[in-house]
Amino acid sequence: MRVLLSTIGSRGDVQPLVALATELRAFEQEVRFCVPPDFTDWIDGLGFPVTPIGPELRKLTTATPPANPAPLSPERRRELAEASVATQFQTVAAAAQGCDVIVAATALQIAARSVAEKMRIPYVFVAYCPNVLPSAHHAPPVLPALPGQPPLPVTADNHELWARDSERFKGLFGAVLNAHRASIGLAPVDDVRSHVFTSHPWLAADATLAPWPDSSAEAVFQPGAWILPDRRALPVELKTFLDAGEPPIYFGFGSIRAPQDLSRVMIETARALGRRAIVSRGWANLSLVDEAQDCVAIGEVNQQALFTRVAAVVHHGGAGTTTAAALAGAPQVVVPQMYDQHYWAQRIQTLGIGAAHAPGAPTADSLTSALANALKPDVRAGAQSIGRRVRPDGARTAAERLLAAYEPASEAGV
């Protein structure tokens, strides 16, 4: 079976697909990727064919924003949407040639299902967080308001919020999606979000950390989080730092733009609590504020190994970092900035394995308060208990389901 794994997201969206690809390769299946160019060297080095799609995300993420950025006009948003969808139709179609199934992750993959439909092959949509998928039990991910869009009433319930979310998808992508579908002989779709998500989406999230809220619903398949095993040794300098004192605090914001002055705030927070600090540079290129020996800055390392040796993990609330910290049994402080990060912050708080910081830029005082709560002994005990319940085999379960459902009869020996 030949599988195309596609996303236009960041490292947190790509790495779970690499975990699935690794499991599929263990079953002697052929896997191809269609991902942003930031990750092509990494995936090519793993031996998987890869087709780059779209611009380099790191350049977009790390570009210095204007001092007083004006919101994008509706016309400019439509222009960007049209350009993205046009690129998707062209690039995903090329990458999928000869494939038997397309697995697409992230909600902005507008073209992948249409490409699969034209090719008459199966399509699977994957979400990494429950609140990406519509449910009466939770609200949609937090998104900025669009210019000209009326505010929701204070009393808006989840049904109203999801209806507005559907309108947003249709308004942004409906016309361009249907124009491209018409150009390849496909009928128009009315509900863009339902078209992209399908009636049977997959939820690649751990059921202990992020359970699908409707246990009676069979439409959503939840195999567990797709965790890529990392067997790399920690750098010698980092191991030396870890061995030189008590477990430090890890601070990292991954591949998103970090709030202003974050490095200073993080280090002041650690010192206020008498702790050492590890600062992950990330795409924001965070750095140290001085040359004191109680802090160290690091690049990309084996989080699975590192998180077992830290006192707490302070991060932005990406699904991958949240899961890695939980698996390691480390208390967490989540400082959410966008989209599903608010969900993960609240789950960490609800589970009692850390603290949810208020959204936006933290201050030294606010972060110190949140971190002090996360460092309490009962929180660490809870985090270690949850860590023993997080399943590491979600990608294997998903690979088995993919083979059982979609392996061509000739390859299955039928």
pLDDT for the residue 144: 59
Which residues does the chain have with pLDDT short of 50? 410, 412-414
CATH of the domain at 129: 3.40.50.2000
- Do residues 339 and 403 both lie within one domain? no
- Do residues 304 and 205 both lie within one domain? no
pLDDT for the residue 146: 54
- Do residues 95 and 202 both lie within one domain? yes
pLDDT for the residue 148: 53
- Do residues 260 and 322 both lie within one domain? yes
pLDDT for the residue 409: 52
- Do residues 159 and 216 both lie within one domain? yes
- Do residues 136 and 256 both lie within one domain? no
Encode 59-97: b = buried (16+ Cβ within 10 Å), e = exposed: eebbeeeeeeeeeeeeeeebeebbebbeebbebbbebbe
- Do residues 372 and 246 both lie within one domain? yes
Number of compact structural domains in the chain: 2
The model's pLDDT over 37-57, given as tens digits with 9 standing for 90+, comes to 999 999 999 999 999 998 777
- Do residues 290 and 400 both lie within one domain? no
pLDDT for the residue 323: 96
pTM of the model: 0.91
Which residue range forms the structural domain that includes residue 380? Answer: 236-387
The model's pLDDT over 186-231, given as tens digits with 9 standing for 90+, comes to 999 999 999 999 999 999 999 999 999 987 667 899 999 999 999 9
pLDDT for the residue 413: 42
